[in-house]
Structure formats: structure tokens, C-alpha cells
Structure 1
Amino acid sequence: MFWGAFSFDKKGPCHVWEKETAEEKRERKADLDARNSLIEKANKQKWEKEQRKWLRDWKKVHGRAPGGVRKVWKHNEKTGAFVVKNGRGGINWYRYQKRILIEKLLPFARECQKDRPDTIVQEDNTPAHKSHYQGEIYNLWKIMKMLWPGNSPDLNAIEKAWFWMKKETTRRGPTSDRKKLRARWEKCWADLPQSKIQEWIAAIPDHIQEIIRLEGGNEYKEGRKKGQEKVAIY
């Protein structure tokens, strides 16, 4: 899986995802355990305060204490703990935060801010991107992130890069060799012309106007150039 970032003026870093190693998993667990140990006391106090308020409100409405078993404190995601859920692989919020946000994306965004102070980050709603854990990191870096509407890939210029790079990296035929594949994609990213990036970005306003014209309807064809609009019939 490949990741990259660019702006109108410059091309940013890229990253090729590999399977999470056993050592990385151990490091993640140690890091999250340390983070949670620092915040558990405060989270528990907040939870207890909320429970006391809930109990007071219940008694005020019903005139008695609630029946049943009282809730027991657990430090989990719902009560504020840092949690990485087990899955079938993919990129979880922790790996994305550590390898991309902190090491690559946010430093690149800050670099862009030198020339364009109003720079904001645009990402899609991939679970690792939209995780509520990422908001704190953006706040710490004092960088804004664009609110992203679902099901709108054609409004993100980076999507055009993936199609272009796939075509370029398979010109001499596909390969199943991971090392060769990685080398191809990294070289392709390095060779990606800034003029091509600017072309993709410059097309976004036309896509936006077409989506508005169709009122978000399914007649919209992703990637259709200006002058090739599809007419909706009602």
C-alpha cells in the first residue's frame, strides 16, 4: 500500500506500507500502556463525575435510586483510553499517526505554511485518517484539517496520482516481486512532474461546479473533463 502527499507548489514525501512486525507491535503496546497510565486517573475522575450527575438527574425525575447493577469503571476507548482494535490487518490509527502524521504529513504541511500560511490538510475518510485520536495531533501541530464529505474521491487531487502511477509502473508489465514493486513506485513518485500535479489540482474547481450542477446526483462521472459533462434527464 502506497501513501504520498503533495501541494500545488511542491511534492511531499511518500511511504510504502509493510506488514506490521512483531517488534512494532511490542513497541506499540508499550507506548499505549504508557500513555494510558498517564491519563487513566483523570479519565476515571471525569467518568465518576458524569456518573454522579446521571444519578442525581435520575433521582430527580423518578424520585428513587435506579435498580439493577451499578456501572463499574473500565478504562477503555469509551472512557478515554488509547485503544487499537484487533483486525485483519490494514493500517490502524496508531501506525498512521506515528509513521505518517508525525513523521511525514504534518512536517510537510508546516513546510508548505512557510509560503502559504493558510495551508490546510485534505484527507479522505479512511478509518485511520478520521480516527478521533488524530485530532489531538493536529491541534498540537496547530494545523487545520479540511472537513471531508463522504463518497467524493474526485474532489481529492491525490486520487488522480494513483491511477497515473499504476499506469506508469506497469508499462513494462506487472510484477509480483515486492522489492521491485516498491522500487518502481518510489521511483515513479520521484519522477512525478509537478506540472502534472498542478494540472490535477487545477481541475478540482470544475469538478466541484459539476457536482453542484447535478446536485450531488449519481450522474456525475468521476474524472470527466470540462466540456464532457453528462446531462441529467428528469
Structure 2
Amino acid sequence: WTMQQWSTVLVHHMVWPAMSPDLNPIEHVWDQLKQRLDDRTPPPCDLAELCVALVEEWNALPQNNIMRLVRSMRRRCQDVIALIWTFILKLLCT
């Protein structure tokens, strides 16, 4: 089916890229890590310094942020399942 055909049965396309952080909470962690590395003064100037800085910043990430992301996975999966069921019901009822 094309997007136009789906829209005729009232199924709306939701932009949800394959690499979306919605189902990949580690992407949020990578963002935090990148921000922490960007904030370092002076910034790492070679690969060895970058490796050391990366380990230091990884170890310094607040565990409560990580746990919050882990705990959010159930809700994230439920949201996706709800979307799938909404899609199936719309498809069957039209």
C-alpha cells in the first residue's frame, strides 16, 4: 500500500525512524555522553585523551538517569503496541 492508500482508511503515518530513541534509550545516554565530552575544558586533543575522557565521563554519568531510561522501556513498548493495535483496528473496521 502507498501512504495515500493508508490515509484513505484513516491511518495516519507517524514519523518514527528506525534509529529513534523512542525504542533505543541508549541513544539518550550517547547524547548525554557527547554533551559531557563537548563540555570538557580543554577538550581531548588525541585518541588516547579521548579514550580516557570517554571512560571518565561514562563512569560519571548519573545512575538515576540510566535507571529512569531503563524503567521507561515498559511504557515505550506499550506505546508502540498500542499504536500497532490502533492501526490493525482501523484497518479491520474500514
For the aligned pair, the TM-score class normalised by the smaller chain equals: 0.5 to 0.7
C-alpha distance 178-203 of structure 1, shift in aligned 2 (>3 A): same
Runs ≥4 residues deviating over 3 A: 150-154, 172-176
* Structure 1: gaps of 5 or more residues: 1-149, 217-234
Q: Would you tell me which structure has more helix in proportion to its own residues?
A: 2
Q: How many Å apart are 1:152 and its aligned residue?
A: 6.3
TM-score, length of structure 2 as denominator length:
0.55
Matches within 5 A, 1:158-177: 158-172=26-40, 174-177=43-46
Give the secondary structure class of the aligned counterpart of 1:159: helix
Q: How many Å apart are 1:189 and its aligned residue?
A: 1.3
* Structure 2: gaps of 5 or more residues: 1-17, 86-94
C-alpha distance 212-192 of structure 1, shift in aligned 2 (>3 A): same
Q: How many Å apart are 1:153 and its aligned residue?
A: 5.3
Partner of 1:206: 75
C-alpha distance 213-153 of structure 1, shift in aligned 2 (>3 A): same
**Residues paired across the two proteins, number:** 67
Mark the structure with the bigger radius of gyration.
Answer: 1
Q: Percent identity?
A: 31
TM-score, length of structure 1 as denominator length:
0.25
- Superposition CA RMSD, Å: 2.7
The residue type equivalent to 1:206 in the other structure is R
The residue type equivalent to 1:189 in the other structure is W
Q: How many Å apart are 1:151 and its aligned residue?
A: 5.4
Q: How many Å apart are 1:215 and its aligned residue?
A: 2.3
